[in-house]
Amino acid sequence: MCRHLAYLGPPVTLRALLYDPPHSLVRQSWAPRDMRGGGTINADGFGVGWYPGAGTPVRYRRAGPIWSDPTLPELAAVTTSGAVLAAVRSGTVGMPVQESAAAPFAEGRWLFSHNGVVRGWPDSVLDLAGGLPVRDLVTLDAPTDSALLWALVRHRLRAGASAAEAVTATVREVAARAPGSRLNLLLTDGVSVVASVWDHALSVRATGDAVLLASEPVDDAPGWQEVPDRRWVQAEPAGVRLGELG
């Protein structure tokens, strides 16, 4: 069911987010605390996206476990950014394990991740998929539920929806057609982050100059707050706003 995080604030090394905390994302890849029954190991790929200043984000993705990658530790030690989205993947049975299936998905300034599963895939959401442009369907990053969720969110963004509108509308539509789905989404443009919490775990810590959202707290520092279920979150370093999803 995956684990992910998003950070906005003063520039830090990727290592400070991915490796250094006692319950870092790397540790969560093999020792998660709160998968809500969605497995125990996140070894089916990983990805990190970061913003080098005002430009579009850079991604580093691989199909294998994050703990086995020989390059990422060195890259993470020397790469700094004030906006990062990272994820480790636990692939649903029957879905491919390949680099293009690992979050973050990207277009322009947007980075996107999904923790969870769409129940009844793909039949439960065929009508939603059918509402997308054919080109979007034939160019999906991968034949997975997460890639389709990204296509649905991206379609709304292209049509002029705000990040919050794109995420919340997508979650509500998919949840209505696929009961029992777990739909924790993360979407960022490097300035703010929008997240959804739907039958999966998410916590947030805002310090006034930085904000960190993570499937599980990465340390025992004060200030972590678990986001209640069926909520959406819009977060910036200056503050966090919550709304009802349903």
Q: Which residues are catalytic?
A: 2
Decide if 86 contacts 94 (C-beta within 8 A). Answer: no
Q: Which residues contact 222 (CB under 8 A, 6 or more apart)?
A: none
- Reported residue count of the chain is 246
Residues 103-123: b if buried by 16+ CB within 10 A, e if exposed: bbbbeeebbbbbbbbbbebee
Distance from the Cα of residue 200 to its chain's centroid:
12
Task: State whether residue 75 is helix, strand or coil.
Answer: helix
Tokens 């430009």 map to which residue?
55
What is the residue type of 207? T
Q: Which residues contact 176 (CB under 8 A, 6 or more apart)?
A: none
Instruction: Using DSSP bridges, classify how beta strands 3-13 and 239-244 pair: parallel, antiparallel or unpaired.
Output: unpaired
